Copies of this chain bind each other. A is one copy, B any other.
């Protein structure tokens, strides 16, 4: 008979788990409830802390580049990170914007397949990849949580593939705004108005469009009255039903 202790609850293995009293730097961490470490109790969190380093970066600074040796995994705790890939001739595709709670750097290969840069001042928790993988043997919850988050990312990537492959510019921009609102709500903001911490160039490279098309499309949405623009990086989602209809391609 095994004496290894309590069984893992069978079904909601992937669930985010409740917020427990935290330790050291984690006590004040705003991303604690969202991040992959949220499945850990105080004792186990201590083990994770032992292999963790807190880091920060200024806006515009690179965290790592495509092709760098993939030695670390990161957990964003503050600010926004831009993840992108480039073609040799300079065309850029942003594959995602990462907010507090999101993780970064889970490469299978020994090199990163993408570049990660801060677009605002950021704070992160850094883990040596090998040490984190070793820790999985002692903290199986952590591994399950990471697998769950990877499954989430995969679903998000497929949504993005549908967007890039089949949606019009108008549908893309609206999908993007609604995604930002949803993510903001998850972080506790009410998500309306949404803020755009990234430039028009970043939005364009995320949506597979040009700066000009993004700008024109936003202007048009504003003229149509479905959004309001208090400033160039704030968007009020004025007509939610219309926006949902546009995202789904159910418009005129």
A136 to B7, CA, bound (A): 12
Instruction: Choose among B10, B88, B154 the residue that contacts A150 (Cβ–Cβ < 8 A).
Output: B154
Question: What would be 19 A-B contacts, judged by CB atoms less than 8 Å apart?
Answer: A85-B159, A88-B250, A91-B166, A106-B151, A106-B154, A108-B148, A108-B152, A108-B155, A113-B158, A113-B159, A114-B158, A136-B144, A140-B140, A140-B143, A150-B154, A153-B154, A157-B160, A160-B161, A165-B205
Given B144, B167, B208, B249, which contacts A143 in the complex, CB threshold below 8 Å? Answer: B144
Cβ B140 vs Cβ A137 within 8 A: yes
Q: Which of A228-252 contact B (CB under 8 A)?
A: 248-250
Q: Once bound together, how far apart are the Cα atoms of A165 and B93, in whole Å?
A: 6
**Complex contact A107–B13 (CB within 8 A):** no
Is A89 a contact partner of B249 (Cβ separation < 8 A)?
Answer: yes
Determine the distance from Cα of A13 to Cα of B131 in the docked complex, in whole angstroms: 12
Is A33 an interface position by the 8 A CB rule? no
Across the interface, which residues of B come within 8 angstroms of A143, CB to CB? 140, 143-144, 147
* Closest B residue by C-beta to A245: B88
Q: CB of A134 within 8 A of chain B?
A: yes
Q: A14, B88: Cβ atoms under 8 Å?
A: no
Is A224 an interface residue when CB atoms closer than 8 A count as contact? no
Whether A34 is near chain B, meaning CB under 8 Å from some CB there, is: no
B-chain residues with CB within 8 Å of residue A107 when the two chains form the complex: 151, 155
Given A88-B248, A130-B11, A249-B89, check contact A95 B153 (CB 8 Å).
no
